[in-house]
Structure 1
């Protein structure tokens, strides 16, 4: 791969490249479509999967097809009127409420962390280094992911050399790119040290016990306690989270996803008086619509806003 190709590839997030490759493979292999595609074939492809795939998934498939044609120098068939009309019709005939991740509540977080602490103590008593390290890693991933509202891909990409942590003070994590950072300017995320459920102590315990000083923060640990060199794959974060929560006693662990930590923090913050602007700045959302998708409608700041509107209307009558 040339240097130019490397830079061009780096302009697109790895998760996006993976999803686009999967979309092209689905079009060619599963549906047996031919590339370059015609507008008619793309419209028929949409119609074929309109009843089984979500609108958001169909749009992602169109984006992948559009990118493939543009990169190969072919006209983009996804912008043709027949494709746009087909998508509008599918949206009208197959309306669907957007699915959201189940938020991890603070009480649930506390319960699971207590279970992890017990597992760590038991592993140390049994001299089971593999179990000890895995539980320390899981505790750190859970607490840092919750208190910073990190996405799965962000957790997988955090590197030790980009983290500054000091017990009793706080932790800062630098990420060169995030979903909201379209210009790849880099963002530093900070979290304070806490009296309990502390992400700083959990991180320091994991790093020290694993004897790591560089490279990815969250890695695979085998049964003998050997720590891998590469980061946990982005697609493994959600299954790992469900395993952690299930082992921690949550009966509905299968309902959680990689966004559950982010949504859980957003709901906790909103329920404890954070206004939307403060929440957006802390988590890193660029627009209010993104923030409100993560917060339950019952959150106090929504209630307060409605109540203020009612008060103004009542006074005007």
Structure 2
């Protein structure tokens, strides 16, 4: 009898549907609890945003397969190769996807297949050859977001009022800039270690600055943020003022406020708030005002804070690399929008 496959909904997020006792082992209270514990750990193997993206990837591929009269399971390298080719070819009204998006889609399929107990061989010629051709024909240099430089961040925080929301948003911008933080890292901070189950790190404030311990996408790292030279732009003082006036001494550092803006709630801010805050204050501060508003909004994102620190900090490159949590100096240089590329002149060093 032919083996049957479930071709309906995508695998459960986190791959927990495949975690169970071996068929030859009898269940017990202890083992059943361990299965539940293992499933909890499996759910934590990837971030919620990553799991949501993988679910969307699977849904799109499954729908594509059905439209072509095929099934998504078991994996077919031939069909996946055709799917990649379709993603790269514009078919009005749908535009062609970028190479990076196509690679992300392929990673999503590989993850979903793994949750179903299959291995997707990405080196199979039907997949690898098509993907190599797509890269050769369509690959473009990555589009980088504009860096928020020192003078920009000063102008941005100057647009914020000194009410409770303004204090919070000022702390977000200054702390994110000085720490070179991702927007997800900013909003995942707790006041203390293990305050909440969804914590991504915690803060410690000292006389000379603040120490952030982060559980980031590259693993645990410490970020040291010293006190600034001015009270108006010191990220540590801005953080202290927000925590004091919001009366936050436990849980999420950056929380939502009530409708009247007079008190902080317990609900953690979403990372999209950081992106919206950056775009709004960029407009209010008149940064790149020579461009149309639509173009100005497209230039800046949450990554503009990290790029700004990398581009503005006049220190040895290795310190910037450590602050950003990069594994290589080459990755750090991608964030540096302005730097002396010829500071080390190998032509003269080689005797020419």
Q: Same fold (TM over 0.5)?
A: yes
Q: Is the 8 A contact 2:148 2:305 kept in 1?
A: yes
Give the superposition deviation at 1:44. Answer: 1.7
Which one has the bigger helix percentage?
1
Superposition pairs for residues 43-122 of structure 1, below 5 Å? 43-51=81-89, 52-76=96-120, 78-116=122-160, 119-120=161-162
Alpha-carbon distance change, 287 to 57 in structure 1, aligned in 2, over 3 angstroms: same
Task: Look up the match of 2:42.
Answer: 8
Q: Which of these residues, 245, 255, 259, is aligned with residue 299 of structure 2?
A: 255
1:200 aligns with 2:240: no
Q: Which of these residues, 273, 277, 294, is aligned with residue 335 of structure 2?
A: 294
TM-score normalized by the length of structure 1: 0.84
SS at match of 1:195: coil
The more displaced of 201-210 and 78-87 is 78-87
Task: Number of aligned residue pairs: give it.
Answer: 289
Task: Look up the match of 1:42.
Answer: 80
SS at match of 1:304: coil
Q: Is the 8 A contact 2:159 2:281 kept in 1?
A: no
Give the superposition deviation at 1:8. Answer: 1.5
Q: Which of these residues, 216, 239, 242, is aligned with residue 252 of structure 2?
A: 216
Query: Which has the bigger relative contact order, CA under 8 A and spacing at least 6?
Result: 1
SS at match of 2:319: helix
1:236 and 1:30 map into 2 onto residues whose CA distance is 34
Give the superposition deviation at 1:154. Answer: 0.7
Task: Look up the match of 2:56.
Answer: 22
1:72 and 1:293 map into 2 onto residues whose CA distance is 37
1:138 aligns with 2:169: yes
Q: Is the 8 A contact 2:157 2:281 kept in 1?
A: no
Q: Is the 8 A contact 2:98 2:139 kept in 1?
A: no
Task: Look up the match of 2:186.
Answer: 155
Alpha-carbon distance change, 236 to 113 in structure 1, aligned in 2, over 3 angstroms: closer
2:172 and 2:66 map into 1 onto residues whose CA distance is 41
2:336 and 2:342 map into 1 onto residues whose CA distance is 12
Superposition pairs for residues 299-314 of structure 1, below 5 Å? 299-300=339-340, 302-306=341-345, 309-313=346-350
TM-score normalized by the length of structure 2: 0.76
Give the superposition deviation at 1:23. Answer: 1.8
Give the superposition deviation at 1:32. Answer: 4.9
SS at match of 2:344: helix
1:284 aligns with 2:325: yes
2:248 and 2:141 map into 1 onto residues whose CA distance is 44
The gaps in structure 1 that reach 5 residues or longer are: 121-131
Give the superposition deviation at 1:83. Answer: 0.8
Alpha-carbon distance change, 47 to 277 in structure 1, aligned in 2, over 3 angstroms: same
1:289 and 1:16 map into 2 onto residues whose CA distance is 25
Q: Is the 8 A contact 1:42 1:77 kept in 2?
A: no
Q: Tell me the alpha carbon deviations over residues 86-113 of structure 1, each in whole angstroms, 9 at most, x when there is no partner.
A: 1111111112111111100111111111
2:270 and 2:78 map into 1 onto residues whose CA distance is 37
CA RMSD of aligned residues (A): 2.0
SS at match of 2:342: helix
